[in-house]
Structure 1
Amino acid sequence: MRVFLTGASGFIGSHVIPKLLGRGHRVLGLARSDAGARQLEAAGVDVHRGDLEQPESLASGVAAADAVIHCAFDHNFATFFENTKKDERNIAAMGEALEGTHKPILITSGVGIGTPLNGGSATEDVLNPQHANPRIATELAGAALTARRIDVRTIRLPQVHDATKAGLITPLVTEGRRAGAVAYVGEGNTRWSAAHVSDVAKLYVLALEKGEPGARYNASAEEGVTARAIAEALGKGTGLPVRSIAADEVERYFGWMAPFAALDMVASNAWTRARLGWEPTGPELLTDLAAMDYVSLSEA
């Protein structure tokens, strides 16, 4: 297939490319800039010029491909709500181009959207339309397309990592340096699911080749790593002290990340593994945090 890949030059998309090419697919990658276009060309990818601010440019990419993998998302958390609405518009625009075809589109969400109302591990069968996370807009946009018989498959991401980056965990280093310590709330028993970026890329390709219309897949290789273990790994890597804090200290130590500090973001992967035969093999989160170059991270 010729696959239109948004976010092709990003952290996850750049790992999806070789997985697709290795399976014999061709890739049409979205590029906003000349530098991005050159990066994609060097990776053996055809270039489609476009921008997340121009939904019509994504729709034309869809028309030129046999399938879509939508990894792109504006991760500026200062405008997070607005960015989820932008994602909703872009999914809707791509859906218009998919109308009446059998082309699949894989969209990207977060595992937290699958958390049951009474708590517990997030599962693929749960979709709460009243979820407090603004990222629910992505899944509601996908559900609207599914209702129109468009083949939508959702990849729900945990903390995606390698030895250079780790989802929401990497920004904790910046906030820890600002506050003078790496913190966890209470006993640090809350947990975040995680997966190595190579395993996540593998899952996108499996969902493309073997996935089902309307299905949601949890990319959680590790169902949960404790906040205390994460903080201790960051403290060891940065040389910062590690401390437990009370709820009223969260904003001081976590800054803009305060809303995430005490969240339990555990996600089951049993259904996804059974349906797609996904077998994660990459390094675990704490292994990558131990190997991370924290000096370079501070200069980034």
Structure 2
Amino acid sequence: MKILILGGTGSIGSAVTADLVAHHHQVIGLCRSEVSARKLSELGGQPWRGDLRAPSSWQAALAGVDVVIQLASTFGTDMAVVDAAAVACLRAEARARPSNQPLRVIYTGGCWLYGETGDHMACETSPQRPIPAFSWMQDSASLLLKDPNLNCAVVHPAMVYHKDGGGVFARMLDQAAAGLPLEVWGSIHTRWPLVHRRDLARAYRMLAEQAALTGHFNVAAQSGIPVRDILAEILTRHPHDGAYLVRNRKYVMFKYGAWAEGPTLDQQMRAEKIRQSCGWHPEVADFTQAAF
């Protein structure tokens, strides 16, 4: 298939690009800089120079593609507006296509759209209570899913980790390596659903390949791991005195921004739907067995 990726050289997108190429798909990736274009080429994709903020710069890339995977965000104050413009561009492309050639879109939501779940394990039919910083994702996903001209699946990744910098573990890994107290956001009892980046990439590829699968899809290998267990594992990998600091939600949001509410949420998330519908299963079922 011919697949356009928005965000194909990011932390998750680079793994998705590599997995698609490995399975013989033709990948076109939106690239704003020469550095990202070179990275995409090295991954086996075809760079398309443009800017997510300017849909007119990549609209022509939609011609003839079978699937669009939206993984990109500016992560700035304009991210809601930029995403809305990108969604409008995709919907316009879909309207212009013959009815027997619908555009397949894989859109990215996230576990933080469920809000704090506590002892409840969120599934795809659970009510969404997104944190304000990312509530726009819920709006965009709804527009795409309801559009009769589109064929859409929305992926909700768990907290993602990997060996190249650690992903969601990066901050604590850097502090451990520097001999600093590990900073815990929320509580050591806060639970994080987890998935390895490589397994998440496989989920995107499998959903891209199976156009009959629509709706919401959670992707998690572990439903909810207490932060204390993550701390303990990091401390087994680095010489450290075990000191840590607990930062409450108000503190981290003031210091790092509204998005920082996400890691303070006590969450659990199940992923039976994607396991049953397309045979996805995590190759890394336990984070303690992975390199990061």
TM over 0.5, yes or no?
yes
1:45 to partner: Cα distance: 1.8
Please give the residue correspondences for 1:137-156 in structure 2 after superposition, counting only pairs within 5 Å.
137-149=136-148, 150-156=150-156
Q: What SS class does the counterpart of residue 109 from structure 2 fall into?
A: strand
Tell which deviates more after alignment, 38-47 or 196-205. Answer: 38-47
1:281 to partner: Cα distance: 0.5
Q: Which residue of 2 aligns with 1:281?
A: 283
1:85 to 54, 74, 81: 81
TM-score by length of 2: 0.83
Alpha-carbon separation, structure 2, partners of 1:115 and 1:21: 34
Q: Which amino acid aligns with 1:138?
A: M
Please give the per-residue CA displacement for 1:121-168, whole angstroms capped at 9, x wherever unaligned: 22112353x633432312311211332212121111112111223433
Alpha-carbon separation, structure 2, partners of 1:22 and 1:185: 37
Change (3 A) 1:232 1:116: closer
Q: Which residue of 2 aligns with 1:46?
A: 46
Please give the per-residue CA displacement for 1:155-207, whole angstroms capped at 9, x wherever unaligned: 11112111223433313445778994114478722210111111111000111
CA contact (8 A) 1:173 1:234 kept: yes
Q: Which residue of 2 aligns with 1:241?
A: 242
Q: Which residue of 1 aligns with 2:218?
A: 218
Unaligned runs of at least 5 residues, structure 2 = none
Q: What SS class does the counterpart of residue 107 from structure 1 fall into?
A: strand
Q: What SS class does the counterpart of residue 135 from structure 1 fall into?
A: helix
Alignment RMSD:
3.1
Paired residues in the alignment total 284
Q: Which residue of 2 aligns with 1:295?
A: none
1:119 to partner: Cα distance: 6.4
Tell whether 2:13 aligns with 1:13. yes
Q: Which residue of 1 aligns with 2:22?
A: 22
Q: Which amino acid aligns with 1:278?
A: W
Please give the per-residue CA displacement for 1:38-77, whole angstroms capped at 9, x wherever unaligned: 22223332221111221222332222412111112234xx
CA contact (8 A) 2:110 2:157 kept: yes
Unaligned runs of at least 5 residues, structure 1 = 293-300
Please give the per-residue CA displacement for 1:240-272, whole angstroms capped at 9, x wherever unaligned: 533464859x73899427634531122101122
Q: Which amino acid aligns with 1:264?
A: D
Please give the residue correspondences for 1:54-65 in structure 2 after superposition, counting only pairs within 5 Å.
54-65=54-65
Q: Which residue of 2 aligns with 1:272?
A: 274
Change (3 A) 1:15 1:162: same
TM-score by length of 1: 0.81
Q: What SS class does the counterpart of residue 121 from structure 2 fall into?
A: coil
